[in-house]
Chain A
């Protein structure tokens, strides 16, 4: 089945370490997104990309960077992780053919000690 896959699913790291979360999709969608989910704060948009050459900041991009290596791959990096970046991170895709529907990955749980 065409899917949105995130790796790693769980990661524990220490303050100051560099961490990368990866997202790959087999849906053939152009648009990819990174969100973080925090209790009581819902989902907040970090970055989004409409194609390989188009990267846009979301609501909370500070402390994060992204790379769109190919249409199917969109990575999120924390250059120097801090404890308040502990959260559940979701990758999502969308395509104009599906009238606004976002397709989500299973999430990557990151803990920064």
Chain B
């Protein structure tokens, strides 16, 4: 069955420290992977998608098909990065999306 796993419910780091939010998936086809973010009192919104290979707000994520992972990374965390982060998987061409359980990132001053 298709599944997205985010092993950490909570990740606390100090400002300026590197951040890595883990995401693993199980899917036998060609996946499309996304990271969504939910800041306090704001709507859930797209942060980045693997096909774009872009950096948004200093965050990057690389799809590793061998390890079936799509970890989100940022070299220097900022306090404004504190939020709930969800990894999501879309089955190629289906426009059906499933989400992981989410990781709350807290960046401490």
Contacts and interface: CB of A to CB of B under 8 A. Distances in A.
B44 A100 contact: no
B44 A90 contact: yes
Q: How large is the interface on A (under 10, 10 to 19, 20 to 34, 35 or more residues)?
A: 20 to 34
Contact of B46 (A33, A96, A101, A106): A101
Given A42-B86, A106-B43, A107-B43, 16 more contacts: A42-B6, A42-B101, A42-B102, A45-B96, A45-B99, A56-B96, A58-B96, A90-B44, A94-B97, A99-B49, A99-B52, A100-B32, A100-B34, A100-B90, A100-B97, A101-B46
B95 A100 contact: yes
Contacts, number: 56
A48 interface: yes
B109 interface: no
Nearest to B1: A59
Nearest to B98: A45
User: Which of B36, B51, B101 has the largest count of A CB atoms less than 10 A from its CB?
Assistant: B101
Interface in A77-108: 90, 92, 94, 96, 99-102, 104-107
Interface residues of B, number: 23
Interface of A: 31, 33, 35, 40-45, 48, 50, 56, 58-59, 90, 92, 94, 96, 99-102, 104-107
B99 A40 contact: no
User: Which of B44, B51, B88, B100 has the largest count of A CB atoms less than 10 A from its CB?
Assistant: B44
A55 to B, nearest CB: 13
Contacts of B34: 100-101
Contact of B9 (A40, A43, A50, A100): A40
B95 A31 contact: yes
A48 B101 CA distance: 19
B97 A105 contact: no
26 contacts: A31-B95, A35-B99, A40-B101, A42-B6, A42-B86, A42-B99, A42-B101, A44-B99, A45-B97, A45-B98, A45-B99, A48-B95, A48-B96, A50-B95, A92-B44, A94-B97, A99-B51, A99-B52, A100-B32, A100-B51, A102-B44, A102-B88, A102-B97, A104-B44, A106-B43, A107-B43
